[in-house]
Amino acid sequence: MKQIIRVLITILALTASGLAQQPAEPESRPETPAQEESKQNEGNKRVELNMLGKANTSAGESRRNENVQFNLVDNNALKELNVRLGTTATIQKEFNPANSYFGSEFGNAPRSSITVPAKLRPGFHGRVYETHLNSVFSARTFFQVGEVQPARENDYGFNFSAPLWNRAQLFVEGAQQKIRGMVNGNVLVPRPDERTPLATDPAVRAIVARYLAAYPTELPNRTDINQRALNTNAPQSIDSNQANLRLDQTLSGIDQLTLQYSFTSQSVDAFQFVAGQNPDTDTKSHLARIVWTRSWNAGTVTNFSLSYDRLTSLLVPEENAVGAYVTTAGLTGLGPGGMIPIDRAQNQIRSAALMQTISGSHNWSAGFGLTRRQVNGSETDVHRGFFSFSNDFGRDGITNLRLGTPSTHIVSIGNIHRGFRLWEGQIFAGDKWQISPYFTLNYGLRWQPVTKPVEVNDLNSAPFDSDMNNLAPNLGFALRMPRKMGIFRGAYATQFGEIYFVTFQQIRFSPPGNNKIVVNAPNLINPLSSVDSNGQLPIARPTIYQLDPEMATPYSHQYNLSWEPDWNSAIRVQFGYVGSRSMKLFNMWYLNRAHPVTGIPQTTATINLRRANNDVSDIRTVINASRGYFDAGRVSVIVQNWHGLSFDASYWFSKALDLGSDYTNTANENDSRISRSQYEFENFRDMKGPSSFDQTHAFLWRMNYVIGAVTAFRKARWISRAIGGWNFSTVTLIKTGIPFNVTAGSDGPGFGNVDGNGGDRPNLLDQSILGRTIADPDTSQQLLPRNAFTYINPTDPRGNLGRNVFRKGPIRNVNASLSRVWSIARDATLTFRAESINLFNTPQFAEPGAELANPNFGQITNTLNDGRTFRFLLQLGW
């Protein structure tokens, strides 16, 4: 008890706020524009830089369960958010041609062609803060065995703006976040009777023993959910740093110059339930920017900017990794994944200009942006080697591991360092036309060309041309209707995305510079031992990566309608619809698969003999093959300051479909396997289904109440002052679960179609289970019974079960906080805040085991969110 009291006293003395960012939360004093801009950028950095340790609690998000690992590169943070939280149906009141809104209908922030910094508030202003979280106040996660392990998080920093010299204002910001703790989770490990090799060859036996030794010595302790389930803990540390330096200089009455430099870094020493399971990551971002703003007159402003943005990412295997990437059916894999290590540096040199002028009833805007993108570094594609021990050869995967008989070996050999360059441009113009006091029309056009990527050493050549016909019109209106009918709005725009670097860079993995060799039923000691005297590979075959010559930039048609009636001055209501149709989304087609051939046995060993072109293995083609369909209806109610109470509530009903891949898919690594069809042909017929983030119903409620003066204690003013002024806020998020996919779990005979690629789905025997939500570990196996499915025959092209036809558990999360601001001097305030994330400790269950061939099929063994936590903050502002 004494320790807890000491911790409480320490927290009250040291804590500070990351959550005083709720829009409904009154601040002690208005923040400077630079502080507001910094907060807006924090959410963008989380996605763009793939930052861990962040949670948008004001939107109802709980802390993620860190045991659900993802590689901190590309757009993986966005995909993780979509799969864990789903999306937020968002209505854009109007489309600005200067911005790109691709994906904004799902709640993503628009991307601007030019960033115009908000003007700094003159004078000396700032804040110093710290936020503290400690496991003393945390609850166990649902599956955790034993007590909560020690953990702590400190997030502290400062910012201030001050005048330097005549007409010059300086803004300085610095922050650090230190996270130390234990990650808890379930892994599948061998049973006590499965921890010795069965191989008789001493060399094979030694390799198998090394693989088995990578699993923790602890024995399974959650046999109630799976005979091989072990709930364990592993340390993880995250260090984040942020610095921002900005100088505003007013040159004359009409000119202002802004110089800015920002630095962000994060180092992750990842948890390892199994030796070498996850990569360690180091991320660094540098941004330097110059902006010149001129006010020509009261109605005309121009902005010119030049910026340099550098992002470096280094992901390396942990020192105890076994070397190759090894997967075993029924056990947790020995990682990290095949794309590790990664050593990448991305440079973006941007120039942009924007002019805005008001002429009569028109508000004109026009501008351009030009970006030079450079990407250098080394990327890998199972260059460390890969072994798959599947349910094959009439045995389960664990027995095959102990015997040292893998189903597949894949290894890439060659030069993996590349440097790619390309240009991206934007030219745009638009007008907001006030036709009458009751009707406004806005329209514009954006041209977004992009050149084909070039490899600086001519090691690879992209087969597609520059994409120069990307014209994006936008049109919108706002109509103020008579009486209390309010405002009716509508908007339409074509929006272009981008050709992801990781999408086109895969050509580095093709011959002659690289060979990705696939060997089926290999020898574990020397999987390439079938090379003959001429150096040929009669069994091993290279994998070919190729880009479609017609590859182009994905785009979407976005449209919405909204109505905001004026029924009550104290209550704002909005009814709306938002929809989109996304075209040319990326997909990877796995071609040249093995097919049944008369006279050749349908076995794993004969896969390469049954290919149409048996000189090569897979031919993996990146193509704009998918489409996305999204429709949503939304109702929102906002009440502001009704007797100290403010709240907003939103409900949306939505449906998202695609043809195998959505707007975030890069057609690389895991993305390519997610969108892989069961069979080489009829991809659309096989893959059309709900998107991976589809949610039918969603409800968000945010409430804020400020306790006013307590009249019952007029004579005892100190009591009134102690009770009054406290601010209570809460956020509730309720959503239906997102879909998950049931697969056979093996491509081998008796399970799949033996075409050399996984992802086969079984046949469905009981149609009554379709569409079920599998949300409770106690009933998951009853709701998803194994006997409702059957495996396909080896010569069948595919199973009849659809894609993403079941749903995992819903989201039901409540966050709450209590805060107060004290004035301690004329221009100084002290803020204290206590916040609970996942107040009721409600688990958000992950999907059950979804591979029919594995013992854990139908069993829920993990959650996607963390248990209840409390964090405290203390902030001094002036």
Single-letter code of the amino acid located at 228: R
Q: Out of 114-128, 306-320, 559-573, 766-780, pick the least confident.
A: 114-128
User: Could you give the CA distance from residue 738 to residue 732 in angstroms, rounded to a whole number?
Assistant: 18
Pull the structure tokens for residue 749. Answer: 């005979």
| pLDDT for res 720 | 66
User: Could you give the CA distance from residue 595 to residue 611 in angstroms, rounded to a whole number?
Assistant: 6
Q: Out of 73-82, 587-596, 720-729, 862-871, pick the least confident.
A: 720-729
- For the residues 177-202, what does the mean pLDDT come to? 96
Contacts of 762 (CB under 8 A, 6+ apart): 742, 743, 744, 789, 790, 791, 792, 799, 801, 852
| pLDDT for res 507 | 94
- For the residues 578-591, what does the mean pLDDT come to? 98
- For the residues 477-498, what does the mean pLDDT come to? 97
Using alpha carbons, select from 476, 507, 695 the residue that is nearest to residue 588. Answer: 507
| pLDDT for res 121 | 81
| pLDDT for res 15 | 31
Asked if 155 and 128 touch (Cβ cutoff 8 Å), the reply is no
| pLDDT for res 424 | 97
Asked if 27 and 20 touch (Cβ cutoff 8 Å), the reply is yes
| pLDDT for res 67 | 94
pLDDT surpassing 60 at residue 519: yes
Helix axis angle, 33-48 to 76-85, nearest 10°: 90
| pLDDT for res 712 | 52
- For the residues 836-840, what does the mean pLDDT come to? 97
Residue linked to tokens 């130390």: 180
- For the residues 30-36, what does the mean pLDDT come to? 44
The verdict on whether omega for the bond into residue 30 sits within 30 degrees of 0, i.e. cis, is: no
Where residue 29 falls among pLDDT bands split at 50, 70, 90?
very low
| pLDDT for res 388 | 96
- For the residues 769-788, what does the mean pLDDT come to? 97
| pLDDT for res 19 | 29
| pLDDT for res 4 | 38
Using alpha carbons, select from 821, 826, 825, 828 the residue that is nearest to residue 878. Answer: 828
pLDDT surpassing 50 at residue 246: yes
DSSP state of 267: E
User: Could you give the CA distance from residue 846 to residue 141 in angstroms, rounded to a whole number?
Assistant: 13
The strand ranges marked E within 51-205 are: 99-100, 111-112, 125-134, 152-163, 168-188
| pLDDT for res 825 | 85
Helix, strand, coil percentages in the chain from 3-state DSSP, rounded to 5: 15, 45, 45
Q: Out of 228-237, 362-371, 530-539, pick the least confident.
A: 530-539
Give residue 571's Cα distance to chain centre: 35
Q: Out of 33-37, 269-273, 730-734, pick the least confident.
A: 33-37
Concatenating the DSSP letter of every residue in 760-817 gives ---EES-GGGTT-EE--TTTHHHHS-GGGEEPPPTT-S--SPPSS-EEEPPEEEEEEE
Neighbours of 400 (CB within 10 A): 23
The domains of the chain, with CATH numbers, are 2-743+805-853 (2.40.170.20)
Portion of the chain with pLDDT greater than 70, in percent: 92
pLDDT 10s digits, 586-635: 999 999 999 999 999 999 989 999 999 988 999 999 999 999 999 999 99
pTM: predicted TM-score of the whole model, two decimal places: 0.91
Strands across the sheet containing 739-740: 739-740, 806-808, 773-774
Pull the structure tokens for residue 238. Answer: 């995250």
Neighbours of 466 (CB within 10 A): 14
Checking 640-647 for CB contacts under 8 A at 24+ apart, the result is: 640/570, 640/572, 642/570, 644/705, 644/706, 644/707, 644/708, 645/703, 645/704, 645/705, 646/24, 646/703, 646/704, 646/705, 647/24, 647/701, 647/702, 647/703, 647/704
pLDDT surpassing 80 at residue 710: no
Q: Out of 299-303, 323-327, 723-727, pick the least confident.
A: 723-727
User: Could you give the CA distance from residue 494 to residue 468 in angstroms, rounded to a whole number?
Assistant: 15
Pull the structure tokens for residue 183. Answer: 């990650």
| pLDDT for res 16 | 30
pLDDT surpassing 90 at residue 531: no
Look over the chain and give the mean of its residue pLDDT values, rounded to a whole number. Answer: 91
pLDDT surpassing 60 at residue 789: yes
107: exposed, middle or buried (C-beta count within 10 Å: 0-12, 13-18, 19+)?
A: middle
- For the residues 493-498, what does the mean pLDDT come to? 98
Asked if 32 and 171 touch (Cβ cutoff 8 Å), the reply is yes
| pLDDT for res 717 | 67
- For the residues 373-378, what does the mean pLDDT come to? 98
User: Could you give the CA distance from residue 434 to residue 702 in angstroms, rounded to a whole number?
Assistant: 34
The verdict on whether omega for the bond into residue 23 sits within 30 degrees of 0, i.e. cis, is: no
Q: Pairing between strand 386-389 and 342-359?
A: unpaired
Where residue 287 falls among pLDDT bands split at 50, 70, 90?
very high
